[in-house]
A and B are shown apart, each in its own frame.
Chain A
Amino acid sequence: AQSVTQLGSHVSVSEGALVLLRCNYSSSVPPYLFWYVQYPNQGLQLLLKYTTGATLVKGINGFEAEFKKSETSFHLTKPSAHMSDAAEYFCAVSGDSSASKIIFGSGTRLSIRP
């Protein structure tokens, strides 16, 4: 069975500061890992995904994440936060049966202080 744990339901950073959202996964098979963002009253938008190959994955809007198998982690980072980054972020895993069955973490709400 697969699962995802996001550490911190709410993270607040100052504009221009580093953003770090933590995600740990559990999977009995090589995982596919995703980060999605959800803005208020909208669906989910894919930020980035890891399937195979390079462990440092770059996504949209300046975000990146690093797959660390030894730590079973896939933390999301952005060097400098913008006000527009305020949203809910979901880490997710798949690979057990098909890419369509995605298991999501509980989400982290990111707030940006001016």
Chain B
Amino acid sequence: KAGVTQTPRYLIKTRGQQVTLSCSPISGHRSVSWYQQTPGQGLQFLFEYFSETQRNKGNFPGRFSGRQFSNSRSEMNVSTLELGDSALYLCASGAGGFTDTQYFGPGTRLTVL
């Protein structure tokens, strides 16, 4: 079974631009979660989508948004990029149940200049 894939793996943008990251979950998984990892703040939950609906949301500004498609693939968008948005963005997929294991992708490394 193929794992979680994230594209692109590396991205360089400048302040004020916007960016879209993509995540393809494991086949059959309906839940996709996004996390931001930085040296200062560690791993922080952004949001989760289940069956095309946002089911959970972390404490991030509205510049961070996402969506999920009918095939469970998910995209995350960050508008008006700031230097502090430089991070590793991780996507995780799961079956969606309360105790189901989440499987993480390799991440997208975003650098904002």
Which A residues form the contact surface with B (CB < 8 A)? 32, 36, 41-46, 49, 51, 90, 95, 97-107
Q: Please state if B99 and A46 are interface contacts (CB–CB under 8 Å).
A: no
Q: Given the complex of chains A and B, what is the CA–CA distance between A89 and B102 in angstroms?
A: 16
Which B residues form the contact surface with A (CB < 8 A)? 4, 31, 33, 35, 42-45, 48, 50, 55-56, 58, 90, 92, 94, 96-107
Q: Please state if A102 and B102 are interface contacts (CB–CB under 8 Å).
A: yes
**How many A-B contacts at CB < 8 Å in the complex?**
63
User: Which A residues are CB-close (under 8 A) to B100?
Assistant: 99
Q: Given the complex of chains A and B, what is the CA–CA distance between A43 and B109 in angstroms?
A: 11
Q: Please state if B98 and A98 are interface contacts (CB–CB under 8 Å).
A: yes
Q: Please state if A32 and B99 are interface contacts (CB–CB under 8 Å).
A: yes
Q: Known interface pairs A98-B48, A101-B56. Does A43 touch B104 (Cβ–Cβ under 8 Å)?
A: yes
Q: Please state if B45 and A44 are interface contacts (CB–CB under 8 Å).
A: no
Closest to B99 in A: A51
Q: Given the complex of chains A and B, what is the CA–CA distance between A102 and B103 in angstroms?
A: 12
